[in-house]
Amino acid sequence: MSRLDSFIRRLEAQRACIDRAVALAAPLPGPVIEVGLGNGRTYDHLRDRARGREIFAFDRHVAAHPACVPDAAHLLLGDFRATLAQAASALGGKIAICHADIGSGDEAASQALGAEIAPLIDALMAPGGIIVGDQVMRAARWEELPLPPGIEPGRYFIRRVRA
């Protein structure tokens, strides 16, 4: 499999998992958080698929396409560990969908970051909320959900907060 094949497969998995998360969270009110705005492609996708939901995006700095940058009230810039913790006063227990695509080229650092921010994300999630993303993340009240058909285990992850 070429790197082009692998990249396409990763993006298709990402899209299928986000779409699944949006469908699973349909009965639940509440905003979306996008942890890692990056180039803004998945933010745009969430905006399209989860219409009507408020979306708050977190990142260190803005590197997104200008059409995919949220307004200042929905953009939380800085280290995830600080901004996710700060968001708890306004958003704690309210989030219906979290998408966290936080992997960098450094696999060990990405895993460590995932482990560090899982409890901070957990504090924001509503009961029944869905957490979808590219890293292993665990919290006591989360259950792993099966991936959409055709997606290799470990490529992406979907969990639900037990109600």
Binding residues for a copy of itself, rule: CB under 8 A, are 1-5, 7-8, 11-12, 14-15, 40-42, 44-45, 47-49, 65, 67-68
Rank residues 15 and 74 by Cβ distance to a copy of itself and give the closer one. Answer: 15
Beta carbon of residue 90, minimum distance to a copy of itself (angstroms, whole number):
27
Q: Considering the complex, what minimum distance in angstroms separates the CB of residue 21 from a copy of itself?
A: 14
Question: Tokens at residue 73, please?
Answer: 């009230």
Distance CA 57, CA 51 (A): 15
Phi then psi for residue 106, to 5 deg, are -90, 105
Q: In sequence order, which ranges of the chain are alpha helices (DSSP H)?
A: 3-24, 41-49, 80-91, 107-124
> Which residue in the block uniquely carries the two structure tokens 């936080």?
102
> Cα separation of 136 and 79, whole Å?
19
In the bound state with a copy of itself, the residue whose beta carbon lies nearer, of 65 and 138, is: 65
Of 5 and 71, CB closest to a copy of itself = 5
Nearer to a copy of itself (CB atom), residue 68 or residue 137: 68
Name the minimum Å distance from CB 85 to a copy of itself: 29
Shortest spacing between CB 96 and a copy of itself, in angstroms? 19
CA distance linking residue 101 with residue 155, whole number of Å: 11
Q: Which is nearer to a copy of itself, 49 or 155 (CB)?
A: 49
Distance in Å, CB of 36 to a copy of itself, minimum = 14
Helix (H, G, I), strand (E, B) or coil at 108: helix
Axis crossing angle, helix 3-24 with helix 41-49, rounded to the nearest 10: 30
